[in-house]
Structure 1
Amino acid sequence: MTQQHRTNETKVLVLTLAITLGLVGGLLWWFSHSYGIKGSYLTRTRVETPSTDTFSQIPDVPTGLFSYGGSTTWAPIRQQVDSAVAIVWPKFQLRYTEPIEAAPGSGTGIKMLLGNQLAFAQSSRAVKPEENEQAKKLGFALKEIPVAIDGIAIAVHPTLNLPGLTLTQLKDIYTGKVNNWEQLGGPKLPITPYSRRPEDSGTIEFFEENVLSGEKFGSNVQFIDTTTNALKEVAKNPGTIYYASAPEVVGQCSVKALPLGKQPNKFIEPYTKPYIPLDKCPKQRNQLNTEAFQTGDYPITRRLFVIVKQNGQADQQAGEAYANLLLTDQGQELIAKAGFVRLR
């Protein structure tokens, strides 16, 4: 065969291939437009790569039974996460442990961690300098790993007609400088502020430091043992007020969450608008304003931490593995399902 014949055959083959591809492409275009088949449908037939950001992908998850404890704010997260972890890592056994002679909370959890009663702790506040000093004397360091975003929401009686509170007004209520709603543009009604005790809760310690600016609670504040009991009191008594972790307040059917602002007339709601009236609850519930929490527009936000004892032993491995699990896409989704805001 001559060189010329081979060249002509090559041209014919190339031309035939081009025509064939054109016909196939035309047919695909015709089918997609005639029958509503989108290009994404075609790509979905490919084998997809499994997610690499799930519990099963986390390395160095230890085996054994590990006690942990701390913040009551974390309770909804524990309910969502622990059972899911047990399915994927059944040999990584987690046991929530409460203190024997004190109320559970961030402070008591860190104290138990320092006392070698826990492998790691959950906290709704950062580690205090004195806690770091105590750890140093014991021969190790405390590492705080943020895993979620939370905020403080203000609960009042549903009938209280007030557009919101500034942080200064909130501080004045809890330090005893303001004692009637009339002073804040509301009804002529005495204010009864409720709080859990500072030694019982990281939320209260955070509130003291960031809202009261280090001032002490006024003598008008009534201390109560649990958020559940406090919300029951607020639901019954029109003049009462209480603060707690936003997921514990925003979706309630018996109290109203007040908007907050750093300045007057610039209030930010802790719930997504429009506000759902409580008479529609529980079929419909108000949801967290996650965007305002993530951007920091809502004025009282904080991070939730896993507190890890850095001692090079199994406890450290357990705490770091737990934090890493929570920081996966799967963990962050469970955190959102529990009512908190994803960190990532």
Structure 2
Amino acid sequence: MAQKNETAVLILSLLITVGLVGAGLWWFLQRSGTNLGGSAPSNQPAQTSSQSFAQLQDVPAGLFSYGGSTSWAPIRLTADPAVQVARPEFKLRYIDPIGEPPGSSTGIRMLLDGQMAFSQSSRPIRDTEFQQAQQRGFSLKQVPVAIDGLAIAVNPSLNISGLTLAQLKDIYIGKIDNWSQVGGPNLNIIPFTRPADTGGTVELFVQEILGGQAFGPNVKFVPNTTQALRQLADNPGGIYFASAPEVVPQCTIKPLPIGRQAGEFVPPYQEPLVPIEQCPNQRNQLNIQAFQQGRYPITRSLFVVIKQNGQIEQQAGEAYANLLLTVQGQELISQAGFVRIR
């Protein structure tokens, strides 16, 4: 009997000890903010995307130069002024390169050369750029903040249902030179593009659509998208590609559906297509669902490129990316015509 009592006492003592240890562990975890379930503690936001510009922490004070991709222009016009209102201490100064057109490549080069605090890119960082940064004693980081698509624009009078990626390639390398070869009228094709070294949009097109091949001798070069759209309005056989928000809402051109295969055309705009005569009172809107779901064949991310050097430039780049990833920032990105990444 005595042995049974001793066993019961030992078991009871063990249970009490386990209970006390468990209670102590629970108290410690609550105090330290640790959550064993893997989710964020209830007294902290799970992501910075739940915050507005005014609520975001770690935004440095100072004047910070930035620039780069021309595809970012709608975001610079829509989101950046709101950043300045909410965070006047975080002063932003957009700068253009001297003697060359702006673009993702020139922006990253200027960042590497110390002319910018951070840059905006419509393509990923290249291996050579990572290497150049390492040679200068720092590294580069890219933070995606939005989803974009490349839209194909033609003259509004052109009657064609769409193009496949293969047909688009053949047009720009000179293999196809008449619209009758792709189901259109007997009309010479006039392809327009910006030069290959001017920005991420053209580089993406060359790599992803042309497979690294050079533009054909039939391609005409224009300095910017504004000039290209004017050319399309004056040339019934013209064709051009650019960031979807720069193309889809325009009144003087027609965006074309694109497909990976024949008969699988996906428009970059929400159907039905708004007739030219109803624009600008009514404009075509981006086919956001097709971009988000990957059904539209030519999509990409927009990146903030950050110099990781432990200095205030790094803090500025991270702050700018985090501002655009807040709920307020993602809403403004949507208003600018891009697809939110969160």
Band of TM-score, shorter chain: 0.7 to 0.9
Which residue does 1:68 correspond to in 2? 66
- The one-letter code matched in structure 2 to 1:216 is A
Which residue does 1:158 correspond to in 2? 156
Which residue does 1:243 correspond to in 2? 241
Which residue does 1:122 correspond to in 2? 120
Number of residue pairs the alignment of both structures matches: 295
SS of the equivalent of 1:214 reads coil
- The one-letter code matched in structure 2 to 1:149 is I
TM-score, structure 1 normalization: 0.85
1:129-168 mapped onto 2 (5 Å cutoff) = 129-168=127-166
CA deviation profile, 1:58-97 (whole Å, cap 9, x unmatched) = 1100000000010111111011112111111101100001
For the residues of structure 2 that align with 1:284 and 1:172, how far apart are their CA atoms? 34
- The answer to whether residue 179 in structure 2 is matched with residue 176 in structure 1 is no
Which residue does 1:343 correspond to in 2? 341
Q: Which residues of structure 1 form unaligned runs of 5+? A: 1-50
For the residues of structure 2 that align with 1:275 and 1:200, how far apart are their CA atoms? 31
For the residues of structure 1 that align with 2:196 and 2:130, how far apart are their CA atoms? 19
Q: Which residues of structure 2 form unaligned runs of 5+? A: 1-48
Shift of 1:52: 4.6
1:106 is aligned, of 104, 107, 110, to: 104
TM-score, structure 2 normalization: 0.85
- The one-letter code matched in structure 1 to 2:280 is P
For the residues of structure 2 that align with 1:247 and 1:83, how far apart are their CA atoms? 19
- The one-letter code matched in structure 1 to 2:55 is Q
1:192 is aligned, of 165, 190, 193, to: 190
SS of the equivalent of 1:288 reads coil
Which of structures 1 and 2 has the bigger CA Rg? 1
2:227 is aligned, of 229, 252, 255, to: 229
1:272-291 mapped onto 2 (5 Å cutoff) = 272-291=270-289
For the residues of structure 1 that align with 2:248 and 2:86, how far apart are their CA atoms? 32
Which residue does 1:58 correspond to in 2? 56
For the residues of structure 2 that align with 1:247 and 1:269, how far apart are their CA atoms? 13
For the residues of structure 1 that align with 2:85 and 2:234, how far apart are their CA atoms? 42
Q: Is the 2:50–2:327 contact (alpha carbons within 8 Å) kept by the matching residues of 1?
A: no
Query: Sequence identity, in percent?
Result: 61
For the residues of structure 1 that align with 2:284 and 2:240, how far apart are their CA atoms? 18
For the residues of structure 1 that align with 2:239 and 2:268, how far apart are their CA atoms? 16
- The one-letter code matched in structure 1 to 2:341 is L
For the residues of structure 1 that align with 2:123 and 2:50, how far apart are their CA atoms? 30
